[in-house]
Amino acid sequence: MSDFKFIDLFAGVGGIRIPFDELGGSCVFTSEFDKFSQLTYAANFGETPQGDITLISEKEIPNHDLLLAGFPCQAFSQAGLKKGFKETRGTLFFDIARILDYKKPKAFLLENVKGLRGHDKGKTFKTIIATLNELGYETLESKVLNAKHFGLPQNRERIFIIGFKKHVNFQFPEPLNTPTRLGNILQKRVKDKYTISDKMWTGHQLRKEKHAKKGYGFGYSMFDRDSEYTSTISARYYKDGSEILIKQKGKNPRRLTPREACRLQGFPEDFVIPVSDAQAYKQFGNAVPVSLIREIAKQIVIHL
């Protein structure tokens, strides 16, 4: 693969970066606001990301071929007034737009929650696409892809938006549909501290019952080694581990360990976790499915 330069914005713990490193890219700039994520990033990539992107001038950012960003989803305050660039001010998407406008990289990859498409009755997504068009990106493609179709035992849908300055025939990767099994990522021996207490287990069951009566599906879901995949791990997993619980013989179910959460997102086995369990759950809950990004990255690099 050819050598190309990229930047990593809203970098989290570097999940989007890993496949582009593997494909011969060099990361020339990275930004991440959260200090605990910065620690994990530094432990794995040997560099500490710069902080708040809203305080960094686009002029200070090195030239690059590709911009990567898993940005937070926010409403645009003036949505519906005048489509495009001006409307994105005051949101974190604006920071992506101003960097694209000034640096004009050949391509970008943006990642967000599936709900971005319907956010604010679809206005948010329309504004994003209008802005990217306005900035001169001729090829614009977006698609919702699911981690479970790309070899990970997790049902996690995310939207990806890809743009190229010139016209290219970009194709999103086809699902690999490799069989998945939760047992492949579960640890053999797990400390007792991951087994949930009687009090918490009772609480979980009562809450689920209450929601079921109201017709909601909220609450925990139970999985075992033979489950094909889990539900989506969220950044709130550390609060009570309520969405994904693992069955155990003869005792209360347990939550995932941080290493299992790391594997569930497709991070490499030697990925260092230097933070507390609570921070680790939050970081992996916010991360991107690395195995899925790897397939997208291969398609992007062909056209760079």
CA distances from 134 to 94, 137, 159, 193, 283 (A): 13, 8, 21, 53, 33
Higher pLDDT, 274 or 114: 274
> How much is the pLDDT for 215?
74
Determine contact, residues 246/186, Cβ cutoff 8 Å. yes
Q: Kindly state whether residues 186 and 164 are assigned to the same domain.
A: no
> How much is the pLDDT for 80?
44
Mean pLDDT, the chain, integer: 91
Q: Please indicate whether residue 73 is annotated as part of the active site.
A: yes
Q: Kindly state whether residues 11 and 32 are assigned to the same domain.
A: yes
Q: Say which amino acid occupies 86.
A: K
Per-residue pLDDT band at 88 (split at 50, 70, 90): low
Q: Kindly state whether residues 159 and 191 are assigned to the same domain.
A: no
Statement: residue 266 has pLDDT above 50: yes
Determine contact, residues 62/29, Cβ cutoff 8 Å. yes
CATH of the domain at 169: 3.40.50.150
Q: Kindly state whether residues 124 and 255 are assigned to the same domain.
A: no
Q: Kindly state whether residues 224 and 139 are assigned to the same domain.
A: no
Statement: residue 170 has pLDDT above 50: yes
3-state secondary structure of 162: strand
> How much is the pLDDT for 265?
98
Range of the domain at 272: 182-284
159: which DSSP letter? Answer: E
Q: Kindly state whether residues 31 and 108 are assigned to the same domain.
A: yes
Q: What is the largest CA-CA distance in the chain?
A: 61
Q: Kindly state whether residues 236 and 297 are assigned to the same domain.
A: no
Please give the structure tokens belonging to residue 60: 């200070």
Of 71-80, 202-211, 271-280, where does the model show the most confidence? 271-280
Q: Kindly state whether residues 166 and 35 are assigned to the same domain.
A: yes
pLDDT tens track for 208-235:
888 778 777 677 899 999 999 999 998 8
Q: Which helix (H) or strand (E) holds 202?
A: helix 198-213
CATH of the domain at 244: 3.90.120.10
Q: Which helix (H) or strand (E) holds 68?
A: strand 66-70
Q: Which helix (H) or strand (E) holds 140?
A: strand 139-146
Q: Kindly state whether residues 14 and 57 are assigned to the same domain.
A: yes
> How much is the pLDDT for 113?
87
pLDDT tens track for 119-153:
878 888 888 899 999 999 999 999 999 999 999 99
Q: Kindly state whether residues 294 and 277 are assigned to the same domain.
A: no
Q: Kindly state whether residues 35 and 169 are assigned to the same domain.
A: yes
Q: Count how many domains the chain has.
A: 2
Statement: residue 84 has pLDDT above 60: no
Q: Kindly state whether residues 108 and 165 are assigned to the same domain.
A: yes
Higher pLDDT, 88 or 202: 202
Statement: residue 71 has pLDDT above 60: yes
* 162: Cα within 13 Å, side-chain hemisphere: 23
pTM (predicted TM-score)? 0.92
> How much is the pLDDT for 162?
98
Statement: residue 81 has pLDDT above 50: no
Instruction: State the average pLDDT over residues 252-272.
Output: 97
Given 73, 144, 200, 302, the catalytic residue: 73
> How much is the pLDDT for 78?
45
